[in-house]
């Protein structure tokens, strides 16, 4: 299944930050899959991810250092155990 790769005109810095973080996470997921660390998941359009990172960088935006942790952090509706907003472990 392919997705539309036409760039969306993100206008706010917050939108560009989310796009940069998402692109970085997807590239890391794809690398982990290529190394055999994980299986399955969505097909990653590497060229599009790199393009998003390039466009974000032109706007002075780079992926957050904790973008992976943010992407996989449990939400309030998830289990009791997991990382809290301050990074500590709940229920452990």
- Domain-located, residue 83: no
- Domain-located, residue 3: no
Domain count, the chain: 1
* pLDDT at residue 76 in the model: 74
- CA distance linking residue 23 with residue 49, whole number of Å: 5
Q: pLDDT digit of tens for each residue in the chain (92 aa)?
A: 344 555 566 589 999 999 999 999 999 999 999 999 999 888 999 999 999 999 999 999 999 999 999 999 988 765 544 444 554 444 43
Asked if 28 and 37 count as a contact pair (C-beta separation under 8 A), the reply is no
- Domain-located, residue 4: no
- Domain-located, residue 40: yes
Rounded to 5°, angle at Cα 81 from 28 and 21: 25
Neighbours of 28 (CB within 10 A): 16
Quote the pTM value.
Answer: 0.70
* pLDDT at residue 6 in the model: 52
- Domain-located, residue 2: no
- Domain-located, residue 45: yes
Residue-number span of the structural domain to which 51 is assigned: 13-73
- Domain-located, residue 55: yes
Closest CA to 53 of 69, 64, 38: 64
- Domain-located, residue 46: yes
């Amino acid at each position: 299944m392919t997705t539309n790769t036409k760039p969306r005109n993100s206008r706010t810095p917050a939108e560009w930050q989310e796009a940069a973080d998402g692109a970085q996470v997807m590239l890391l997921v794809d690398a982990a899959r290529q190394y055999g660390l994980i299986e399955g998941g969505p097909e990653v359009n590497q060229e599009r991810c790199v393009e998003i990172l390039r466009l974000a960088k032109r706007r002075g935006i780079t992926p957050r250092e904790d973008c992976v942790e943010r992407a996989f952090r449990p939400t309030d509706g998830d289990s009791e155990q997991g990382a809290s907003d301050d990074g500590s472990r709940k229920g452990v």
